[in-house]
Amino acid sequence: MIEIEASWGSSMHPVIRFMTGRDLEEIAEIEVAAQLSLWGIDGYEAELTNEYAIVRVVDAAQLHAHDLSKSGAFKPPYRIAAFAAARIVVDELHITNIAVRNEARRHGLGGLLVGDLMQCARRRGLRWAVLEVRESNGDANRLYARHGFEITGRRPGYYCNPAEDALIMARLI
C-alpha cells in the first residue's frame, strides 16, 4: 500500500483509516451486498501489499464516537461501515470500488471516502481521477457528480450479472 506516511490525523476525517487484514472478511461481505464485481478476500488482501493501491475503510467505532450520523442514533454492530479502493496509474487515480454497508447508507460515508481519495491524490500530485460505474446506479452517479466527476465515455457490456454498460467518469484533481 502506497500510503505509508498517512496516519489517523492526516486523513480527511479520523473515521477513515487504512484497510488491514483484520477487515477483509467484512469488506467481502459489504462487496457482495453492494453487488460490486467480486474481488473477494484474496483480491483485497493483494491490494494491502500493492505499492500503487490506496485502500481505506470507515471505522464504525470511530464513526459512532464522532457522531456523524444524521439521527444521532447510529450504533453499528459491525466494525467497517464502508470502504474504498483505488490505484495510482502514472498521474491518475483510478477509483476501483467504493461501497457502503446497506445499514450505514444515507450518512454521507460515500462522499467522505471520495473526499479522502481526492485528498490522497492531491498529496501525490496526481492530475486526474477516473472510475467506471454502472449506468443504472443512480445513487453512485449522483455521488460522483456532486464531487465534480463528469461522464467522459462508456464501456459497452463492461458489467455482468446483470450485463450492463459502464459509464466512464473523470475529473481533474
The CATH class of 8-133 is: alpha beta
Are 81 and 58 spatial neighbours (Cβ–Cβ below 8 Å)? Answer: yes
Would the pTM of this model clear 0.75, i.e. be above it? yes
Q: Is the pLDDT of residue 69 over 60?
A: no
> What is the per-residue pLDDT for 66?
57
- Predicted confidence (pLDDT) per residue in 16-52, tens digit: 999 999 999 999 999 999 888 789 999 999 999 999 9
Return the pLDDT at 67. 54
For residue range 81-98, list pLDDT tens digits in order.
999 999 999 999 999 999
User: Hey, where are the domains in the chain?
Assistant: 8-133
